[in-house]
Chains A and B, each alone.
Chain A
Amino acid sequence: MSRAQTVVSRRRFLVATAVAAAWPRYGAAQPKATISYWNGLTGADGKVMDEMIDRFTKDTGIRIEQQRIPWPELYAKLQVSVPAGEGPDLALIHTVEVPHFASDGVLEAIDEAMVGGKGFRAEDYLPATWQGGTFQGKRYSLPLDVPQHVLYLNVKVMKEAGLVAADGKPRVPSGRDELISMAKAMTRGESFGFAIGTMNPGRYTWGFHNLLWQNGTNIYAPDLKRATVAEPAALEVAEFFAALPTQHKVAPPANANCRDAFIAGRLGMWIAGSWNFTGLREAKVDFVAAPVPRLFKQPVVWSMPHQYSFPKVKTADRARREAAWSHVRWMTDHVADWTLKAGQVSASRKAHGDPRITGDPVLKTLLAQAPNWQVGQGTPKWVAAENVTRPVIESIYTGQKPAKAAMEDLARQINALPD
């Protein structure tokens, strides 16, 4: 061995020692990394997320600084903070937010190969949820769970109206006519037979979208270039929506709190979000969950998967990014616990066979709706279109405007939205 070789070896030794000294620090830093995580889980699911995060920290050593902000404020904050370099490492967002955040450069594109390398595979997810994480062919998010609509039946109210089957269970309406006749049987005074929506049924765009989708139409034409809300299929939906409180008089007024009405036994049938059912159980309401009835052409169920996204950062920090991925991985692996406690069925199929989930009648109903799930259209204009829809459908619901004129006005507004 020559002297030169010895010197080189010594250098190598020193370099190797330095790397070895640095490596444990990096290795040790990873489990101890602290990441910021923003979400809008302000309901009972927020407490469940707290528990899950505590468990995650115990398992991995990674700490999470969580900011829980109501969804609308969360989205405004992301739009402001991320360009300023003040965004979080991880954000939970709704599927329909992905296109506009991706288009505005708020979210980091995720390499599909890396997604696969981390063990996330398309075949493990339900297609609507997996596809919802992409925009213009690129992936920006990974689905966690699937908030969706379901039909809640108030057993006490329905029994009093004689709307129970031979087995004592509430009857489930099979179509529009039956729904209206059953709702009429339950409506008297300040008690109502049917509602769609939670806090303000008159403004409940998600319910209106569900009806549009059931009638085979949508906000935009398939090319996403023009609004279709003034076309006959949408008008039919708008007229039905208007008739509920005005002509049939079976639905509560526009600003009624339907959740409270249901709990108070003043609402018989209620199409609302799956996120309500754990609260109904806590309130000890005697209810049954049934699939959203087919009121138009197809039994579509509105859904809005939550998606994990990685907002752009000014300076990449590998350790923090890996820690954020670790959390997504951990939550995906423990999603059955999340489903059982938070009441949201998972986007990943892996947990769907868990006997604890299939044994729960509500979760079982939610899972059975999976083939009918539909999400909003993948355009950056979707959320803005949703915002302008709210007052228009309320003007229909309250009888302020005829459905046709209102929907024509809505089409004009949607078509005028800036690019």
Chain B
Amino acid sequence: MGSGRHRRRQASTAYLFLAPGLLLFAVFRVYPLLEGLQLSFTNARLGRASFQYVGLANYARLLEDSRFHVSLVNTALYTVASTLPILAVPLALALALNRGRLRTLLRSVFFFPFTLSVVTVGLAWLWLLDPVVGPFNYYLKSLGVPVRSWLADPQTAMAAIIVTTVWWVTGYYLVIYLAGLQDIPRDLYEAAALDGAGGWRAFWSITLPLLRPVMLFVVVTHVIGSFQLFGQVFVLTLGGPGDATRTVVQHLYEAAFQNFFQFGAASAMAWVLFAIILVFSVLQFRLLRGHTEY
């Protein structure tokens, strides 16, 4: 009886502490989400006082919207193609920077791009990759490598966006990997060394398995971020050439803020995107979940 009351009091105290956060979450996350869901069944347009419920018409229209389909394919392509470098490049750097004299300095150097805004990064790369006056082509040409218009060529535009993104976010994931590496007990490596395991063997049998939760975090957050890709595309290509790099969020943004402020249609797109991200996140958790206690 007494312990039950104590537990209830503890729970009440916990809820009291959680209340401000929950309130903010409800007001700024849950409410807009539900409001968006309601809007997705209407023909609401910003600036017009009245709107009508149109049922599933906005969702049905997405089935016929070829540009939305293109943007879905592009978004999926970006997500798939960027995940491996996002997993591998920061991991390789983290392994290299886990020890060594200049590691603090180098960590700062690699983290620096992440402190820049997406617009700054985009504008810098836009200039670097400019086909006429950009230094990237200039140096390639001086090395005798054939140059091209990287952002205006449908074959290379998405790759250029991926390279830009990897350059930008590597520092962030590097810090996360480093934290994960430092959490791995040293005695596991010492035991493996005593058993005659070399560097590669220790990496495959100790480092990689024990980094699994970190990698799960990296993959899940990157995939969610990839489905929401917008800033880099908006600055670098505006979805072009043609629609070669158009993404779902860009399509949504244009419907909501450029083409008649169609908030109803844009909300339907947002909910489709939300559903896709939810499915992928659940799948990733199921696939990558494992025993990680040590």
Contact = CB atoms under 8 A, between A and B. Distances in A.
Contact-size category for A: 35 or more
Interface stretch (A35-43, A253-261, A286-294): A253-261
Contacts of A260: 130, 132-133
Interface string A376-394: 0000010110011011101
Nearest to B261: A79
B47 A401 contact: no
Interface stretch (B25-33, B224-232, B251-259, B269-277): B251-259
A252 B137 CA distance: 14
A119 interface: no
B149 interface: yes
Nearest to A259: B133
A368 interface: no
A266 B132 contact: yes
Contacts of B79: none
The listed residue with most B CB atoms (<10 A of its CB), out of A253, A261, A395, A397, is: A253
Interface in A143-197: 190-192
A153 B241 CA distance: 28
Interface stretch (B93-101, B150-158, B181-189): B150-158
Contact-size category for B: 35 or more
B262 interface: yes
A253 B133 contact: no
B171 to A, nearest CB: 27
The listed residue with most B CB atoms (<10 A of its CB), out of A76, A106, A417, is: A76
Contacts of A395: 240-243
A150 B151 CA distance: 27
A250 to B, nearest CB: 13
Contacts of B258: 72, 76, 383-384, 387
Contacts of B126: 255, 257
B47 A106 contact: yes
Contacts, number: 116
A398 B241 contact: yes
Nearest to B150: A255
A72 B256 CA distance: 13
A53 to B, nearest CB: 27
A82 B48 CA distance: 11
Contact of A401 (B45, B153, B242, B257): B242
Contact of B154 (A82, A257, A398): A398
B244 interface: yes
B260 interface: yes
Contacts of A417: 259-260
A400 interface: yes
A375 to B, nearest CB: 20
A266 to B, nearest CB: 5
B247 interface: no
Contacts of A365: none
Interface in A56-93: 72, 76, 79-80, 82-83
B152 A253 contact: yes
27 contacts: A72-B257, A79-B46, A83-B49, A104-B45, A104-B48, A202-B241, A252-B131, A253-B132, A255-B131, A255-B149, A255-B237, A257-B126, A257-B127, A261-B133, A264-B133, A266-B132, A267-B132, A383-B258, A387-B259, A391-B240, A395-B241, A398-B240, A400-B154, A400-B241, A400-B242, A417-B260, A418-B262
Q: Which 8 A-B pairs have the closest CB atoms?
A: A395-B242, A253-B149, A254-B152, A104-B47, A384-B259, A255-B152, A398-B241, A261-B132
Given A76-B258, A203-B240, A384-B260, 20 more contacts: A79-B47, A104-B47, A106-B47, A190-B137, A253-B149, A253-B152, A254-B149, A255-B151, A255-B152, A255-B241, A260-B133, A264-B133, A387-B259, A391-B238, A391-B240, A394-B240, A394-B241, A398-B241, A418-B45, A418-B262
